[in-house]
Structure 1
Amino acid sequence: MVVALRTDRTVWVRPAVETDLRQVEDVIAADCLGIAPTSARRTGPLTSGLTRQALLVAHDGHGQVLGAAALCRAGARDLLTGGVAWLHCREHPVTAAVLVRAALERSAGLSAVTAFTEPTPWPPHLPGLALHDRPVTFDAFTDAGFRTADQWLLFQRPPQSGQAGNADRAERCTAPPVWVTAAGGISRTPHSEPFPLPDTLWRGNLRRSLERVDAGGYGRALTTVDLLAPRATRRCEILRACGFEEVDLLRSLVLV
């Protein structure tokens, strides 16, 4: 398949082959949010995740991979839906548009098509397309008729220096982050459950957990807030009061 869209670049799309994977990893790493340690981007999760869905690559016809998208399908009752698990293109508008068009052509006749609804297999292991970090990709989907289905606000609390030396601070900055759970605890893996606790109890648990993070030298802490959940605004206020900063707005998309 070849597509040219008012550009000096002609982009071809085809199913990926094994020899594409290293270049696909490079494209993914170029687009990843800056909260994942560099070393974590080039290890097993990237390669293992590429083999679980139908993978398309956009290329220049001379062996250079310009972007990639992973497609999947799911059936539920009488519905057959398609999904774009992820799409990376180094934020090049033509490559993004071509990959979105190719995904839609392969989803013709389906009840609905979703995008970015599942966690990625590489850090930071979250669903959603980063609106501010990936505006070109977001525009390519909305130009094709996709709309927002869900959205989460991603927060990060930087490592607290305290009395640590320079070497210790550097180690904290590159260490894998810990995640704040729905109960206000900490975990090594992301948690996206709804808020089960009253705000006062959750805030108390959070403060105690952050004390453990600082005492244990864990480094950064991350969490997400479902902006469509009850009390989302209050949870954001509590996180900011505890030293968390907004990283980006993550959105899943749907075309029906």
Structure 2
Amino acid sequence: MRPFARADEFGVLELINADQVPGQPEVTAAQLAEAVAGRSPNDSGWWEELDAPVTVVAVEGGAVVGVVSFAVRAKDRTGLILWLHCREREDVAAALVAYAVDALAGCARLEAFTLSSALVVALEGLPVRHRAVTHEALLAAGFVGADLWAYMRAELPLSLPRLDAGVRYERMAGDEWELSLMEGRTRVAKAQVGLPVAGTGVLWWISTRRRARGRGYGRVVLGAAGALLADLGAREVVLVVDDDAPEDQGRSRVAAKRMYRGAGFVEVDRLFSYTRHGGDG
């Protein structure tokens, strides 16, 4: 193990892109530089709370075979494993996790894959079906996993008609658009999408007024969102659904996932985050 150096960039990018899941664009050198620096367009406020990350590579026979980045959030003495890649080699994954845990031994609590880094689009967690070896390495090191999100993807155009009547489009600050479906002067549904990155757009969220649910408004705004992303150059769209509380009727996502599947979305993976007591806790 040794600290990441600029000369490792090509090898690390190869590792990251080998681990990518469907719907994730190829990671660039600029994105890697942001991740190493501890910056991200996703969850940016939470990243600002961290001390400078430490990024370490595992080397075998002169070649980079693994990489892990971790940091400390001083305000609550939490150590975080931010991202890790190793082509899902069992021995390397175990070594990288062990190294990070040892380095963060003074923390009261440890977390892993709880923040969305600059290396991904919309992913907040570890995609466990595609990254099963890393998942097992974390569990073996004493972490407890939480199944929090469904990660879904669809090719564009969606299997929905485009109905623009009553839909307002507004470019927001940054790289987002907000769509509002109006019924007279009342906004009955809305959605927010992210500008495409290398042909991949993001549906950040859809919401419908409680009193207007069950009338198909969500489908209308979903169709409009997919059409807008296609107009902006997207060939596919990804989203995540916080369906971690299936027994909670107030937070049920059954209807939402049925709508997404009807529009052509498929579940690519489940996203897990992890926690563990720290070395002194």
Whether TM-score is above 0.5 comes out as: yes
CA distance in 1, matches of 2:127, 2:177: 18
User: Does 2:116 correspond to 1:119?
Assistant: yes
Distance 1:243 1:203 in 2: 12
Aligned-residue RMSD, C-alpha: 2.8
Matching residue within 209, 220, 242 for 2:225? 209
% same residue: 27
Partner AA of 2:14 in structure 1 = D
Kept in 1: contact 2:177–2:194 (CA 8 A):
yes
- Paired residue type of 2:7: T
Separation (CA, whole Å) in 2 of partners of 1:14 and 1:43: 20
Question: 1:93: which partner in 2?
Answer: 90
Give the whole-Å Cα distance in 1 for the aligned partners of 2:132 and 2:242: 20
Q: 1:39-118 counterparts in 2 under 5 A?
A: 41-52=27-38, 53-60=53-60, 62-76=61-75, 79-118=76-115
For structure 2, the 5+ residue unaligned runs are 39-52, 160-175, 180-188, 196-200, 246-250
Match of 1:137 in 2: 134
Q: Say if 1:248 and 1:190 are closer, same or farther in 2 by CA, change over 3 A.
A: same
In 1, Cα distance between equivalents of 2:158 and 2:240: 23
Q: Which residue of 1 aligns with 2:185?
A: none
Q: TM-score, normalised by structure 1?
A: 0.77
Maintained 8 Å contact 1:180/1:221: no
The alpha-carbon deviation at position 86 of structure 1 amounts to 0.4
- Aligned ranges 1:151-190 → 2 under 5 Å: 151-160=148-157, 183-188=190-195, 190=202
Deviations 1:216-251 (A, max 9, x none): 653212111011261222211111111111111111
> What CA distance in whole angstroms lies between the structure 1 residues aligned with 2:128 and 2:177?
21
What is the Cα deviation at residue 46 of structure 1?
Answer: 2.0
Hey, which bits of structure 1, 4+ residues long, moved more than 6 A? 178-182
> Residue in 1 aligned with 2:184?
none
Maintained 8 Å contact 2:192/2:203: no
Is the Cα contact below 8 Å between 2:122 and 2:238 reproduced in 1? no
Residue in structure 1 matched with residue 167 of structure 2 by the alignment: none
Measured after TM superposition, the shift of residue 43 of structure 1 is: 4.0
Tell me the equivalent position of 2:248. none
Q: What's the secondary structure of 1:34's corresponding residue?
A: coil
Report how far residue 26 of structure 1 moved: 1.2
| Separation (CA, whole Å) in 1 of partners of 2:224 and 2:78 | 43
Q: 1:197 to 1:154 in 2, by over 3 A?
A: farther
Contact 1:115 1:252 in 2 (8 A): yes
Alignment of 1:23 onto 2:11: yes
1:109 to partner: Cα distance: 2.9
Instruction: Tell me, yes or no, if the aligned pair for 1:179 and 1:190 is still in contact at 8 Å.
Output: no
SS in 2 for 1:105: helix
Measure the CA separation in 2 of the matches of 1:91 and 1:156: 23
Go from structure 1 to structure 2 and tell me whether the alpha carbon gap of 1:210 and 1:19 turns closer, same or farther (over 3 Å shift). closer
Q: Higher strand proportion, which one?
A: 2
**Take 1:179 and 1:84, find their aligned partners in 2: how far apart are those partners?**
32
**Once the two structures are superposed, what CA deviation does each residue of 1:187-234 show, in whole Å capped at 9, x if it has no partner?**
227565695744544333213323444566532121110112612222
Task: Specify every segment of 5 or more residues in structure 1 that has no aligned partner in the other structure, as ranges.
Answer: 1-12, 163-177
Quick one: distance in 2 between partners of 1:216 and 1:28?
A: 27
Q: Is the 8 A contact 1:132 1:248 kept in 2?
A: yes
Q: Tell me the TM-score normalised to structure 2 length.
A: 0.71
How much does 1:47 deviate? 2.8
- What is the CA-CA distance between 1:20 and the residue it aligns to? 1.7
Does the 8 A contact of 1:180 with 1:191 survive in 2?
Answer: no
- Give, as a single letter, the amino acid of the residue that structure 2 aligns with 1:219: R
